[in-house]
Amino acid sequence: MQPRLIPSKRMLWIFLLPLAALLAVRAYGRFSPPPRTLGISQGQLYPCPASPNCVCSESNSQNDAGSIPPLPAPSSAPLQTLKATLKSIGGNQLVSESSNYLHYTFTTPLWGFIDDVEFRLDASNQWFHVRSASRIGYSDLGTNRKRIEMIRSRLTLPNPNPPSAP
């Protein structure tokens, strides 16, 4: 008896159904509309929703699981420094910018989920207040917190090329 070269219909379904599900989830993640809670309201970033897929440094409650410390802002050219840092990380796109505000979107490589990441410059205290939130889903498995902590570490790295002593 010759081996069967044509896959059975069942084998095709076993392969095609998960692939179709992956493509559907990816499309849903890519084309999800931005939330209405973006930007600055009453001088602050919007607080996180109750779901555990967001972190914010301007949270209403210090005990909130979505609370995160603000990022340090350099004293000279803070927005340009932050933009250069985000460019070096990659996987993001600048959506809007003003004199004290930046809104970026980050897209996850595999699933194509979009996270909105906002920065509000508090120049008097030399901080970037930050809010990072997933557009869809209930949990982000800590992705937004990890991203902000990575940005924090890049902003606080010592200068690799310090000026030479006179």
CATH for the stretch 9-155: 3.30.310
Under 8 Å between Cβ of 80 and 155: no
Closest to 100 in 3D by CA, of 75, 72, 129: 129
Tens-place pLDDT, residues 103-157 = 999 988 777 789 999 999 998 999 999 999 998 888 888 899 999 999 999 987 6
Domain ranges of the chain: 9-155
Write down the residue that tokens 């008097």 correspond to. 124
pLDDT number for residue 110: 73
Write down the residue that tokens 């570490």 correspond to. 153
Tens-place pLDDT, residues 57-106 = 986 554 467 889 999 998 889 999 999 999 999 899 999 999 999 999 99
Q: Does the pLDDT value for residue 163 go beyond 50?
A: no
Q: Does the pLDDT value for residue 27 go beyond 80?
A: no
The band of 159, judged by pLDDT with boundaries at 50, 70 and 90, is very low
